Structures are given as structure tokens and as C-alpha cells.
Amino acid sequence: MQEELLQIKNSAMYFIMDAKNPKELEEIKLDFLGRSGKLTLIMKELAKLPMDKRVEIGRLANEVKNAIEDALQTAEDSFSQKKIDKISRIDISEPGILPTLGHLHLVTQAIDEIAQIFARIGFERVRYPEVEWDYFAFEALNFPKNHPARDDWETFFTTETPHARYGPQVLTPHTSNGQIREMVKNVLPIKMLNIAKTYRRQSDISHTLMFHQFETLCVSENISIADLKGTLAYFAKSYFGEKRKTRIRPYHFQFTEPSFEVDISCGLCNGKGCKFCKEGWLELGGAGMVHPNVLKEVGINPKKYAGFASGFGVERVLMMREDMHIDDLRLLYANKLEFLQQF
């Protein structure tokens, strides 16, 4: 019986080692320890042995039983451990997790769209300094020395030593410096679109200290107000929709004569008049025919050439799109992802 027990132990160990999966282990368990398992049957035989033998063989049988149970347990554990290993192992054939993708800022998208619209009618985008000398931002644009726009409270001045010829240094308060920068080159005709950052000392629901403007300038022979109107109408229809109409109203700028403010028909009431627009029109920005003084300043003969110019705010036109529903301009630069991700 002793030998039989040892044999049972050996064969059980062999089978356990050889088991391929938990199911096989289950079968082995039944085969040895089940109700009619090999070891169970032998243990039943124990009762027939004389007392002294019974104790000795009984102890051995128990040892064999424990050994088989331990081996079964260890094998089971290693199977479930394999399962865990399999889960945590890197499967390089699995599709990866895409990193989150960003997108261009809302204002950059608007700038690109505006540039594309004007490119279709031949306006070439240019870039000029956004930290500029007074001469280009004011002086050459026919601003008198005491004009309020030159006031500290309207314009940011830097601490840079003033230029001997061009005067103090400013952060561009408008993109009209681009007109001078373009015209002093004296390469005609001119059809430029200057989109740049502009700075003014104003911050509230519809103003940020930094904003953007887009400035058109067209200088050639035979340029009239009709060209200005046509260009602005083309922009308004392309950017806001075919149904929108534009109109110009007399206004005043130092560097244009005549000067206008440009309005667009309200998209909510289609020009009839509503709470949003009051009389059917919304203000887009400024425009006019380049002032003869400005042409003279840059060495262009005002008798031979004429030009029109316009300057609108990028953020302003963006907010005026009915589908935008942005009620505070400052949100554009608050860098809140929850806001920016919507666009």
C-alpha cells in the first residue's frame, strides 16, 4: 500500500506538470481526489488495515493528499497568472491610442479665410512691423501732432529712444502703417492686404488690448469709390453670405478723403431693423480714398494716381457672423480649452 501511495503521488505530479489548461487540472483533481478517485479509493481501504499499520499508512496517505492538493493549487495559480501576463503584455499589433489633436485658433482660422477671399480678387497679403515708429503709424498718415489718437491713453508707446527721423516707437494701433510701408516702395499698382496685430488701451466685453485688423490698399490709375464699394461688397458677401448688402456712410479719418464707415445689412432681420441692429445695419469698419497728402508724402503723384483703403477688425467680423454667438470678445484670448475646442 505504501508503494501504491507513492506511485499515485508520482503519477499525479506528472499529470499536473503536464496539464495544458485549468480544465485538465480539474480532470486530474477528479481522477485522484474525487469521490471515486485513485487516492480516495485507497484511503477507504485504510479502514481494513490493522490498527498500527493504519496510523502509519494513514499519515503517508495524508501527506500524499496534501502534496497533490498543493501541486494542483500551484498549477492553478500559475494559469491565472499567465492570464494576467497575457492581458498586461504589450500587443504591438493592436491599433494605438491617437494623441489628442489640436487645431488652429479661431482667430487664425478667420485670418486665413479673409486672406483667401481677398486673394481671389488679387490682393496680396503683406506683413509689416507691429512695433512701429510714430512716422508710419501717424505722421505720414496725416495725423497732426496733437491728434488724440497719439495720446498715451489711446496708443501704447514703448520706452525705446525715439528715432531721429521717425519719432517715438509705438505698438501699431491700426494696420494703416502698412499703407505707408507699402507705398514708400513706389511699386505701382498696389493691391495689398495687411493683416496684423493691433493694440489699444481698451479692455471690455467688446475690446481686448491686442486684436487684429485687416487693411486693404489699392493704388492705381483710374481708381474710384466704385472700386472700394465693389471690393467691400465682395468681401461681405463672401464672408457673411450672398444675401448681405453693404453701404458706405460719410465719416472722418485723417488719411482718407472722402472717408466712410462701412455698414453691412443685419443678418437677423435682413435690413428691416431689429433689436440687435436697431436700423437694419451693422458697422463693419472704416474706409476711404487715400488722402492726397498721404500720396504726396510717399512720393506718389495724386494727379495721376488714386487709391482706396479700408481697415476692419478681424475679431469684430468674426463675432458678427450669426453662427458664432460669442458674447464676450475676451473669451477669444482667455485660453480656455472648453471654449476653443468648439470651433
Question: Residue 38 or 316: which CB sits closer to ligand PHE?
Answer: 316
Q: In whole angstroms, what is the distance from residue 310 CA to residue 327 CA?
A: 25
Contact indicator for 122, 230 with CB cutoff of 8 Å: no
310 binds ligand PHE (CB under 6 A): yes
CB distance 106 to 340 below 8 Å: yes
Q: How many residues bind ligand PHE (CB under 6 A)?
A: 11
Binding test (CB under 6 A) with ligand PHE, winner from 37, 168, 178, 286: 286
Among 142, 155, 169, 176, binds ligand PHE (CB under 6 A): 176
The nearest distance, CB 217 to ligand PHE, in angstroms, is 8
By the rule CB under 6 A, 253 interacts with ligand PHE? yes
Distance CA 295, CA 140 (A): 9
Tell me which stretch binds ligand PHE (CB under 6 A): 27-35, 76-84, 158-166, 305-313: 305-313
Q: What span, in angstroms and rounded, lies between the C-alpha atoms of 227 and 255?
A: 18
With the C-alpha atoms ordered 183, 187, 189, 193, is the resulting torsion angle positive or negative?
Answer: negative
**C-alpha to C-alpha distances, 61 to 15, 29, 42, 155, nearest whole angstrom:** 18, 16, 8, 100
Q: By beta-carbon distance, which residue lies closest to ligand PHE?
A: 311
Q: Which range touches ligand PHE (CB under 6 A), out of 61-69, 112-120, 226-234, 285-293?
A: 285-293
Q: Does 287 bind ligand PHE (CB under 6 A)?
A: yes
| Residues 28-57 as x/- pattern, contact with ligand PHE by CB under 6 A | ------------------------------
**Is 292 buried (19+), middle (13-18) or exposed (0-12) by CB count in 10 A?**
middle
β-strands 169-171, 256-265 pairing: unpaired
Site string for ligand PHE, 255-284 (x = CB under 6 A): -x----------------------------
